[in-house]
Structure 1
Amino acid sequence: MSFKDKRNPVSGRWARTTGLITMLILPLGLAACNDPVDVPPLDSQQIGYRGTGMEQVSNPGLDALLVKLNEVPPPIYDPVPADGPMATEIYQNIQVLGDLTADQFDRLMAHITEWVAPPEQGCNYCHNPENLADDSVYTKVVARSMISMTRQINSDWGDHVVQTGVTCYSCHRGAPVPANIWFAAPPPTTKMVGWDGGQNHPVEAINYSSLPVDPFSAYLLNDEAIRIAAPKALPGAHDAPIQQTEKTYALMIHMSQSLGVNCTFCHNSRSFGDWTQSPPQRTPAWHGIRMTRMINQDHLKPLTDVFPENRLGPLGDVAKVNCSTCHQGVNKPLLGAPMLRDHPELWGTADFSQKASGTAALTFEQP
């Protein structure tokens, strides 16, 4: 036994235990450094005055991964001319796509099957194979609402989707359920150590922070005020409680993570609330928040009674969307690829043709 061990045998055991733990954890830490998120060097781009923190930080190690994750599948079939018999003349119970010809209708169904349905089920994921007009399969009712939603987004929300638009693939990416959805969080419970206020439950949607776990019910389902910065740095200058500030921060962290950008992508560090000093990206983000509320309120919430119990959240609510549902780590979904141009069946009342979009509108760059 060493002199140190004679004075305090516990410290010797502690040192040996600590050394063993270090030997076990160090390889794991080194392995984590292989994560492209953590591997330096990082790139930064100055977008404002020097010393003001107006910059965007990116990681070149992520570029190849993001490109891979946002590959756009080519069309299975080329667009077909809008002639021939209408879908309503060939098929029964056409409620949403009555403006399409039968050929256009068949083409869209083939692509939806490719974008959403499990390969082993195909058309039967949404249809009763014995009677395609039957609405007893709940996924058909859901799909009908989602088609209507997609067309409404493309028709009415150009201030957010501009000339890129959306298709079913924008969110589903080949899966029946989009990867990033959310349910209302159960209310916080009072414990012996106090009331946690719905905080300190780290989840990926808010970047594992200790902020409120569910800012989405307040801001992306309901219409609570998000802009809560006080006009003056003095007591009594603003009535918003700290809890509302924390929820706002949770939403902003979610948006930053979902789009793969810094706060200064949409805000000026000098005055986060001043629209006159904000970068132009803040405007489509504002419209995007309201578009997301529309999706959750008008298209998803009404489907609560359609979904089976196993598809609902812990409080019995339907799955809803947030920014990451579509963006998935990039500021332009699918890196801005004009996928909708090849699928006029989903344009709605808007025109997403190459002639309408123009070359300049389709030049996309990552910040």
Structure 2
Amino acid sequence: MKLIFKLALCIWAAVMLTGCERPPIETVQTGFRGTGMEQIYNPRTLLKQASLNQAPAAPDAAAADGPKASQVYQNVKVLGDLSVGQFNRQMVAITQWVAPDQGCAYCHNVQNFADDGKYTKVVARRMIQMTQKVNQDWKPHVAETGVTCYTCHRGNNVPTQVWTEPKDRKYASSLLGDLAGQNIATKEAGLTSLPFDPFSPYLKDAAPIRVNGNEAMAGVGSNANRASLKQTEHTYSLMVHMSESLGVNCTYCHNTRNFQSWEESRPQRVTAWHGIRMARELNNDYMTPLTDTFPPHRLGPKGDVAKVNCSTCHQGAFKPLYGAAMAKDFPELQVLAKP
């Protein structure tokens, strides 16, 4: 009987510890001593992440001389100023980054490459411009490392980490009533009861993200202090997303002694500030205008197009592809081409 009890106890302990990480755990100090500014890593998790964040080798550079792509091919609206060799090199790279299985036919009518009949070609053209925009105007976030199509796609037609507005979840016929956009454990909110759409307010709209008011109980009506507990929950939901997207904890950007103080925060907080605004601009200026271009099955439950968030590029790494500087091998993706 005692043996059965001990066996049951061991099984119970094993089940309870399933969600725990076994040692050793590595700790890296990121801030001043005594402030608790440390990052905690599991070497086994890092090893798995490293295998998922390998950048492919760049193809050999092509000669810049010879006729331009726009002079040889029809309907070349971007990258037309490249030589034919450079243009073909970039097309081969994009194929490997986005559609390695389908090849050119994923975007092109192979009977008529000039045809814009496939929506994927129209989208790809705009995504090239979006990549150029990031590399040219968002260096405060991507620095000189930059991005390419592979940063998000990783060999997939559609990046594995994108978001659309979730369907409304109301239970008017039950005691739960209107869930007010939260109280359901979702991946987006880190399996917490926090609001499960932290992206629409901050990565599409420009809702105030600040959780500390400048004045106590200031104003009335529309002028009232809106740094409410409800708003705080939305902010925290976004912070959970950012933390999990980068595989870090709060102290990667913040000093928990004073979360709101910029003076006591790490430089990474400034980079994150630019990243939020970059994602918002890309969603509003590049993704949302393509809504009518996509077929219905590519849209979300509310009919909106898939959009980017922090996970789209980072995918669990504090730097996308752990800082692999792919963009330098593709100078045509560095500057936004003129229409």
Do Structure 1 and Structure 2 share a fold, with TM-score over 0.5?
yes
Candidates 228, 248, 252, aligned match of 1:265: 252
What is the TM-score with the length of structure 1 in the denominator?
Answer: 0.83
* Match of residue 62 from structure 2: 80
Larger mean CA deviation between 38-47 and 142-151 belongs to 38-47
| 1:39 Cα offset (Å) | 2.1
Candidates 238, 241, 259, aligned match of 1:251: 238
| 1:26 Cα offset (Å) | 6.1
Q: Is the 8 A contact 1:200 1:212 kept in 2?
A: yes
SS of the equivalent of 1:179 reads coil
* CA 1:88–1:39: 2 relative to 1, 3 Å: same
1:150-161 counterparts in 2 under 5 A? 150-161=131-142
Candidates 28, 31, 38, aligned match of 1:45: 28
SS of the equivalent of 1:45 reads strand
| 1:49 Cα offset (Å) | 4.2
Greater Rg by CA: 1
For residues 160-198 of structure 1, give each alpha carbon's deviation from its aligned partner in whole angstroms, at most 9, with x where no partner exists.
Answer: 100110000000000001010111012342532222111
1:201-212 counterparts in 2 under 5 A? 201-212=184-195
* Match of residue 300 from structure 1: 287
SS of the equivalent of 1:286 reads helix
Larger mean CA deviation between 46-55 and 271-280 belongs to 46-55
Once residues 159 and 65 of structure 1 are traced to their aligned partners in structure 2, the CA distance between those partners, rounded to angstroms, is 29
For residues 41-86 of structure 1, give each alpha carbon's deviation from its aligned partner in whole angstroms, at most 9, with x where no partner exists.
Answer: 32223333444332221112222112111111112x3111221100
Matched, 1:179 2:179: no
Question: Which one has more relative contact order, counting CA pairs under 8 Å at least 6 apart?
Answer: 2
Once residues 183 and 260 of structure 1 are traced to their aligned partners in structure 2, the CA distance between those partners, rounded to angstroms, is 22
Once residues 21 and 177 of structure 1 are traced to their aligned partners in structure 2, the CA distance between those partners, rounded to angstroms, is 46
| 1:29 Cα offset (Å) | 5.3
* Match of residue 148 from structure 1: 129
Q: Is the 8 A contact 1:260 1:331 kept in 2?
A: yes
SS of the equivalent of 2:28 reads strand
Matched, 1:109 2:91: yes
Structure 1 spans left out of the alignment, 5+ residues: 1-15, 351-367
* Match of residue 82 from structure 2: 100
Candidates 97, 116, 122, aligned match of 1:135: 116
1:57-76 counterparts in 2 under 5 A? 57-75=40-58
Q: Is the 8 A contact 2:31 2:266 kept in 1?
A: no
Matched, 1:318 2:314: no
Once residues 248 and 155 of structure 2 are traced to their aligned partners in structure 1, the CA distance between those partners, rounded to angstroms, is 25
* CA 1:22–1:99: 2 relative to 1, 3 Å: farther
Once residues 308 and 22 of structure 1 are traced to their aligned partners in structure 2, the CA distance between those partners, rounded to angstroms, is 54
* CA 1:271–1:100: 2 relative to 1, 3 Å: same
| 1:118 Cα offset (Å) | 4.5
Q: Is the 8 A contact 1:39 1:61 kept in 2?
A: no
Q: Is the 8 A contact 1:186 1:315 kept in 2?
A: yes
Candidates 182, 187, 198, aligned match of 2:181: 198
* CA 1:22–1:133: 2 relative to 1, 3 Å: farther
* Match of residue 274 from structure 1: 261
* Match of residue 3 from structure 1: none
* Match of residue 227 from structure 1: 210
Identical-residue share of aligned pairs (%):
52
Aligned pairs, number = 327
Matched, 1:328 2:315: yes
* CA 1:254–1:247: 2 relative to 1, 3 Å: same
Give RMSD over aligned pairs: 2.4
Candidates 265, 275, 279, aligned match of 1:288: 275
SS of the equivalent of 2:263 reads helix
